[in-house]
Chains A and B, each alone.
Chain A
Amino acid sequence: GAVVSQHPSRVICKSGTSVKIECRSLDFQATTMFWYRQFPKQSLMLMATSNEGSKATYEQGVEKDKFLINHASLTLSTLTVTSAHPEDSSFYICSASKGPLPYEQYFGPGTRLTVT
């Protein structure tokens, strides 16, 4: 199998606070993990790519100081939304790639963030 979990599934936070979302590959070691943002009825927008032990690569237009990504181990990546504002409210999805097949990604169930 290739199971990816995310925690929490839902979170509500107040404007100005920070919130951390965890992404874990439960039964495999992930060479690469990805973080996406998805608005209702829209496609997935890639925010960043992370490899264990190295800095994340952010997509153009994504603020690295606002969306902090830490890939601490081959099974865990975290996304911290710092100083959250209502416009950060969205559905955040992580995925992990294990190889040997390149490009195939296994997705977590997503986290719904609401900033009040």
Chain B
Amino acid sequence: AQTVTQSQPEMSVQEAETVTLSCTYDTSESDYYLFWYKQPPSRQMILVIRQEAYKQQNATENRFSVNFQKAAKSFSLKISDSQLGDAAMYFCAYPPPGANSKLTFGKGITLSVRP
């Protein structure tokens, strides 16, 4: 079975500090994509970052970066210089192979940012 696991239900970070959100997945494929989505209190899902498994370089988008460990099937999201607007639920997502663009989401993690 293809699964996505986010084992931390909640995390908190001080404004301007760095926080890392964990995600592990299970797959037998060698080439695939991984995503992190953000859902703020407005509940609008926003794509934060995308990683292609065949690329060895970790993806980076401004203050957001990933630590992709393919062998360990780990895909963590690092948020640097945390801002109050980063407070949200974050979901790790993985598309099961041959699934017509479906995404499997993790349970999500609620991130709070302390001023």
A68 contacts partner chain B, Cβ-Cβ < 8 Å: no
B6 nearest CB across to chain A (Å) = 9
**A104-B47, A109-B43 known; A49+B106 contact, CB < 8 A:** no
In the complex, number of A-B residue pairs with CB atoms less than 8 Å apart: 58
In whole angstroms, how far apart are the Cα atoms of A74 and B33 in the complex?
24
A105 contacts partner chain B, Cβ-Cβ < 8 Å: yes
Chain A residues with CB under 8 Å of B108's CB are 41-43
In whole angstroms, how far apart are the Cα atoms of A46 and B45 in the complex?
14
B65 nearest CB across to chain A (Å) = 19
Option from A32, A43, A103, A110 in Cβ contact (under 8 Å) with B43? A110
B19 nearest CB across to chain A (Å) = 19
**A104-B35, A105-B101 known; A43+B42 contact, CB < 8 A:** no
Chain B residues with CB under 8 Å of A41's CB are 89, 108, 110
Interface residue tally for chain B (C-beta within 8 Å): 22
A34 close to B102 (CB less than 8 A): yes
Of the four ranges (under 10, 10 to 19, 20 to 34, 35 or more), the interface on chain A belongs to 20 to 34
Chain A residues with CB under 8 Å of B105's CB are 43-44
Chain B residues with CB under 8 Å of A42's CB are 107-108
A43 close to B100 (CB less than 8 A): no
Q: Which residue of B lies closest to A112 (CB)?
A: B43
Chain B residues with CB under 8 Å of A101's CB are 33, 50
Chain B residues with CB under 8 Å of A107's CB are 37, 44-46
A103 close to B95 (CB less than 8 A): yes
A109 close to B91 (CB less than 8 A): no
CB-CB contacts of B76-90 with A at 8 A, as 1s and 0s? 000000000000010
Option from A95, A104, A109 in Cβ contact (under 8 Å) with B42? A109
Q: Can you spell out 22 A-B residue pairs with CB atoms less than 8 angstroms apart?
A: A32-B101, A34-B101, A41-B89, A41-B108, A42-B107, A43-B105, A43-B106, A43-B108, A44-B91, A46-B103, A49-B100, A49-B101, A102-B95, A102-B101, A103-B35, A104-B35, A104-B47, A104-B50, A105-B101, A109-B43, A109-B44, A110-B43
* B residues in contact (CB < 8 Å) with A: 33, 35, 37, 42-47, 50, 89, 91, 95, 100-103, 105-108, 110
